[in-house]
Amino acid sequence: MARSDWAALLTDPAQEYKAHTELLRFGVEVYLPQLRKRFHTRTGQYVMRHYPLFPGYLLVRFGDAHHPSTRLARGICRQHPVLADDTGRPWRAPAKDVEIIRDLERSGRFDEIMHKGDSVTLAYGVLACIRSVLASDPEARTAELFTPLFGGTRATISSAKLVRAPNLTEHALQQ
């Protein structure tokens, strides 16, 4: 396989950003896929925060996986820093797959941000399986939904109770 493949490094719990910064400081090419998610503050407001897409892991070029700096960097698991199978062979991610993840990250496909016209469902409850369309931007505490159930009803609901509905084509591919 080509040198452009990627390997996964294991990080200490909740230390992905520290490990990312340390490896950059050592000059290692590193990629930390992220998603943006709503975070509820103590003051009752929502802010967008970045979270690792793969908690506990970050990606480095395959050739740099055993670089001495990977053992020196803070935040990297000390015992077995490189993700490997039972026989000890390091896990490889093809460069084209990592590029697809980068493109999806740039386009916001992993983000929890919702906009007017997006397909949403309730996060929990009896109507959690009913798909609705967001009729207003959910920046405020409440959002207006258009629900095809009951002949196209409009409803106002707390933005905190909404999640983006899964894409049906992605769901079909997973099964």
Domains of the chain: 6-107 (3.30.70.940), 119-174 (2.30.30)
Tell me which residue of 39, 74, 35 sits closest to 159, measured CA to CA. 39
Q: How far apart are the C-alpha atoms of 158 and 142, rounded to whole Å?
A: 4
Residues ≥6 apart with Cβ < 8 Å to 11: 19, 56, 57, 58, 75, 76, 77
Positive or negative torsion for Cα 16, 17, 21, 27: positive
| pLDDT tier, 167 (very low <50, low <70, confident <90, very high otherwise) | low
- Reported residue count of the chain is 175
Share of the chain above pLDDT 70, in %: 89
Structure tokens at 27: 């000059």
Q: Is the pLDDT of residue 1 over 80?
A: no
Model pTM score: 0.69
Q: How far apart are the C-alpha atoms of 38 and 30, rounded to whole Å?
A: 26
| pLDDT tier, 85 (very low <50, low <70, confident <90, very high otherwise) | very high
Q: How far apart are the C-alpha atoms of 37 and 111, rounded to whole Å?
A: 6
The terminus-to-terminus CA distance of the chain in angstroms comes to 29
Return the residue matching tokens 């159930």: 149
Rounded mean pLDDT, 4-13:
94
Structure tokens at 6: 């990627």
Res 140: pLDDT: 67
Q: Is the pLDDT of residue 139 over 70?
A: no
Res 171: pLDDT: 43
